[in-house]
Amino acid sequence: MESKLVGYMRKSNNGESLKMSLDVEALEDVERYETKDGREYISLIANLNRVEEIIEGDREVTSICYLVDE
């Protein structure tokens, strides 16, 4: 399975939240799904170990991707 980069995640300047920066053009290619109530969603992923490293201060940034079935 292949993954495509759509953005990055890092700790906010005040250190109290995680900030996600997403490439709007890249999101246009992401596969969407619809729920019973008609709302449309996309599924994005970030590596949990790397997110934990950001929270602990051992890492500055990690990628946000979506999985592509090819």
| Domain ranges, ordered by start, for the chain | 2-68
pLDDT of residue 54: 96
Residue 70 pLDDT > 80? no
b/e per residue 21-50 (b: at least 16 CB within 10 A): eeeeeeeeebeeeeeeeeeeeeebebeeee
The string of pLDDT tens digits covering residues 16-26 is 999 999 999 99
pTM metric for this prediction: 0.83
Q: What is the mean pLDDT of residues 38-43?
A: 95
pLDDT of 29 > 90? The answer is no
